Structure 1
């Protein structure tokens, strides 16, 4: 059963000594919120786990000092027995920290994208909905440096490109991740030092999930073989690749403005403009064209994009390329045409 705030455990900060872990998470939150205008409403996505409770406590302390209003959202995925009780306890702990408003949002998790992907989609949709309802401009997520390293390894295993290996962005629309340079151990220590009692999600120890196996099996082996610091190095790599990917995306967007046009029924790409560009820029522009045509980003793979790119650079009479969501790409009279069911 999840615990609640422990009124008998006085945090170090109340005894005049600030625990180093609390200082670290507060610093991370302060940095993430520093440029926001006063009176901005900020919401913490809180599951009741150690990381998100540490984030809730740090935000409750830092936001008022910056003139911000801070609340919380607890998403109940309904995937485990007693999930409503877990959500209620998490919400109560957020209220005890002084966060307001605090909302619980129950969601239905579908099956598209696998169990982890479907839960993530439902969660993010709920967070954005609540943010819209209460007028919040920012939603804080408690992903840590360890989560970032795991995401990089999962991307490597899939053979992903730079954008996927860049992993989670510190800022993505209304979403912000203050803890991407904070270790999971530090966040957990801050939670305990703040007098909070976190819920431990049994899914975090279930080897049926790839991320769990990476966490408990792969990363420890890498640390043993390569030495300490692998997690930090992987997270640092994500940051470096994100800067590169951002720059390439800007160049690809510029190319797409001239080489890609959308009509009422199809997306048309100019082969002459595309074929003279570097592969990294050209394939990004083609990926954007496929998305414009109706492919979902979660289903469109690097293999799909490479096959469309071959229509530009290595055409040998291929009739068409089948893409997700029933979209086809076909070469026709100097152009690549993307549309549902299109033929040459």
Structure 2
């Protein structure tokens, strides 16, 4: 099945309960039913970030493949990187269902999954079993258990377990669906976690994922703390707990993190702010509300070296990836950029 055909079937899948549909999509991917994008990437899209080579800057955000069940089939759809997770030290069921909601009128998603998953051991087994070399970069997004967590212990331990089987790890301190997790974005707590990570001498790049709901005043100290502790980059941003007045869906009042188009403006504003603050000392990944080549390009021009998306992929299916790559390459060439890196931050 080619990506365009798989995308044509998306309306049928969306007729199912969102979480059931998501599980079915993962199974279809793991069985190879979504096909692959066999078109070579335009050379203008090749880039480097935190010491790694990316065939293109487009990536799948964490949350889609929590248990690393379909990493290779997802890569074959044309992504330059796939970020699996969030994974927790131990398996946990997450929050009660229903916990995933489509806001069809807004092309958005609300989730309060609660980091359901099979835990780090299964996650590592699946990544270790993948045939190498992989066609794209693989990242691992790390979370904590709802009960019995010790962030200063758990984040370094999971990083050690992933050494040699993931290309980079992300310290997720910004999901709104695990009690107390966002408190870890406080300067003192984040510093303690990053110090513990540094003490374990990680052998791969470490990134931190932040929430779009942080106050502007809190951001400079967090940026400097990350730079001082050798963090490779930041992902800006996670989902939001805000509910813009523009939302039209009757599902809008549901609790959880909102992703999709309403997140684009605030996440891009924060990206631009952090790009200016970091002054080239951090690599930034733009995430939030991206659904087109134009929006991916706007993230790059605002300071992102790489771009991630999730909600748009859930709505449009596999055909979105090659379409965005073609469009992004055309935009870069139109404006005279020879590489993605040349366009990073030109609007910031």
Question: TM-score over 0.5 for the alignment?
Answer: no
Higher relative helix content:
1
TM-score (norm 1): 0.31
TM-score (norm 2): 0.31
Q: Which has the larger radius of gyration?
A: 1
Q: Which has the higher contact order (CA 8 A, sep 6+)?
A: 2
